[in-house]
Structure 1
Amino acid sequence: MQTTTEKESHYNHLEQMSVLEILQNINKEDQTVAVSVNKALPQIEKLATVVAERMKAGGRLFYIGAGTSGRLGVVDASECPPTFGVPFDWVVGIIAGGDGAIRKAVEFAEDDTEQAWKDLSAFDINDKDVVVAIAASGTTPYVIGGLKAANQNKIVTGCVVCNSGSPVAAEANYPVEVVTGPEFLTGSTRMKAGTAQKLVLNMLTTAVMIRLGRVKGNKMVDMQLSNNKLVDRGTKMVMAEIGVDEATAADLLKKNGSVRKAVDFYNQNR
């Protein structure tokens, strides 16, 4: 199939542009990404809704992808525990070629139609879970094979792709198609397509975690206190929530381990 992500760039003779011209034109293209994501909101809503329902019932969210798409899934999954205080295995990112492919491309890993299901099976995946394939082109054999196997095993499937009418979307129960068009650098889908995928994954897991009760007001009350900046932020959140001084808030936070637990402990023992 002819994919718009692989079409010729609207720009030519890039090597003749000044640095400023290169940056201005990349930025011009980037400004179209949020508009493309906006058009896909109804699809994102359906996917986020079913993921939240499945996770409330004890299921997990699995991302599968290759190259940039796989890395983006790993990033989003790895950020859920520190941001929302959830177990590390609630959201799992799997990349074709294994974790080593996060740093260094593994040749032809994305062409193996059998490996994604093997990778998923290592986590004892079951019909409570959801598998979301991430593929800019929508043609990656690794994720197509993974979706087909998941469907055969009655597992809910979704995808995030950047072309319309793709083989990946055809396999997904809940496809999200964000059509980003040609890249500034022809075929370099780490650019607009990658940005669009990152935006969608941000929206997906944030919406899901809010629905799971992992946010209060607009605060990350379950975030892991893994550095001084976050401890300071948490202390200020406790101060604002229950009206105590900084020393008291810091002590409550240290003893209870999270903003939510610190506030609950204070309210239960006042």
Structure 2
Amino acid sequence: MKYTTEKESNYTNLEHMSVHELLVNINKEDQSVALAVQKSILQIEALTTVIVDRMKKGGRLFYIGAGTSGRLGILDASECPPTFGVPHDWVIGLIAGGDTAIRKAVEFAEDDTEQGWKDLSEYSINEKDVLVGIAASGTTPYVIGALKAANEAGLATGCIVCNVGSPVASEANYAVEVVVGPEFVTGSTRMKAGTAQKMVLNMITTATMIQLGRVKGNKMVDMQLSNNKLVARGVRMIVEETGATEHLAAELLEKYGSVRAAIAHYNN
């Protein structure tokens, strides 16, 4: 079976295109990604609903993948603590080959069907948690093995793939299949498939954190104040929410250490 992620590009003789032609055509292909994601909204909703339910009960969200897919999971997981002020162990991303593979490909790491569950076991993963496998092709052995073991252990399982009817999707309780079609460079799933995965991951964690009460109105009131830009943003949020002067807002933020706490103390 030849999956769409491996089909020939709609373009040929790429090396004869000008820089302008290359950029225009890549952008043309990218415009189809959001529409592909839109078609999978109900699948994304089903997976996100389960994640919210499990996390409200103390469960965690795990992402697992190889290559670009694994890196995207780690990226999304790493952005949750600074954005939403949650502990680092609420959302965890794992990649085939370990941390080395984040920057440099580890040969054949994705072909091990047992290593995924071994990696997850280091986190005492259990039936309260949710495991989401990320694999553009939907054929990655590392991910398939992890999902299969997770199902046997009673976890809720999901996946984000870019083909229909893949082995990864068949192992997931809640499969998200975003079919973006052939890549501009044949088989280069870091492109449209990667963009689709990034979009879905953002949707899942953002919706989940909002449901968990980590956003007020439309603001990141629990964000970490880790640099001057974010402190300034925090001050603006307090001013907008309370009507306090900028000077008072800055004092409240410094005193209470978070936007949420500063707003609460002002309103009291």
Query: TM-score if structure 1 supplies the norm length?
Result: 0.98
The Cα shift of 1:256 comes to: 1.1
Alpha-carbon distance in 2 for matches of 1:94, 1:228: 31
> Which residue does the alignment assign to 1:108?
108
> Which residue does the alignment assign to 1:156?
156
Listed as ranges, the matches of 1:70-81 within 5 Å are: 70-81=70-81
Q: Structure 2 unaligned segments of length 5 or more: list them.
A: none
> Which residue does the alignment assign to 2:47?
47
Alpha-carbon distance in 1 for matches of 2:215, 2:121: 31
> Which residue does the alignment assign to 2:98?
98
Letter in 2 for 1:128: K
Alpha-carbon distance in 2 for matches of 1:78, 1:20: 35
Where 1:78 maps in the other structure, the secondary structure is helix
> Is the aligned partner of 1:192 residue 2:192?
yes
> Which residue does the alignment assign to 1:177?
177
Alpha-carbon distance in 2 for matches of 1:36, 1:223: 31
Alpha-carbon distance in 1 for matches of 2:104, 2:195: 20
Q: Structure 1 unaligned segments of length 5 or more: list them.
A: none
User: Alignment identity in percent?
Assistant: 74
> Is the aligned partner of 1:137 residue 2:137?
yes
Alpha-carbon distance in 2 for matches of 1:266, 1:100: 46
> Which residue does the alignment assign to 1:165?
165
Letter in 1 for 2:77: A
Alpha-carbon distance in 1 for matches of 2:141, 2:28: 32
Alpha-carbon distance in 2 for matches of 1:236, 1:242: 10
> Which residue does the alignment assign to 1:13?
13
> Which residue does the alignment assign to 1:83?
83
Q: Number of residue pairs matched?
A: 268
CA deviation vs aligned residue, 1:37-86 (integer Å, no higher than 9, x gap) = 00000000000100000000000000000000000000000000000000
Query: TM-score if structure 2 supplies the norm length?
Result: 0.99
Where 1:63 maps in the other structure, the secondary structure is strand
Where 1:97 maps in the other structure, the secondary structure is coil
Letter in 1 for 2:175: P
CA deviation vs aligned residue, 1:157-211 (integer Å, no higher than 9, x gap) = 0000000000000000000000011000000000000000000000000000000
Letter in 1 for 2:79: E
Listed as ranges, the matches of 1:54-73 within 5 Å are: 54-73=54-73
The Cα shift of 1:267 comes to: 2.1
Higher mean C-alpha displacement, 241-250 vs 176-185? 241-250
The Cα shift of 1:141 comes to: 0.2
The Cα shift of 1:247 comes to: 1.2
Alpha-carbon distance in 2 for matches of 1:158, 1:13: 38
> Which residue does the alignment assign to 1:24?
24
Where 1:230 maps in the other structure, the secondary structure is helix
Letter in 2 for 1:229: K
Alpha-carbon distance in 1 for matches of 2:76, 2:264: 29
CA deviation vs aligned residue, 1:111-143 (integer Å, no higher than 9, x gap) = 000000011000000100000000000000000
Letter in 2 for 1:97: G
Alpha-carbon distance in 2 for matches of 1:197, 1:204: 11
* CA RMSD, 1 decimal: 0.6
> Is the aligned partner of 1:240 residue 2:240?
yes
The Cα shift of 1:251 comes to: 1.0
Alpha-carbon distance in 2 for matches of 1:29, 1:76: 24
| Off by >2 Å, runs of 4+ in structure 1 | none
Where 1:165 maps in the other structure, the secondary structure is coil
> Is the aligned partner of 1:214 residue 2:214?
yes
Alpha-carbon distance in 1 for matches of 2:257, 2:191: 39
Higher mean C-alpha displacement, 234-243 vs 185-194? 234-243
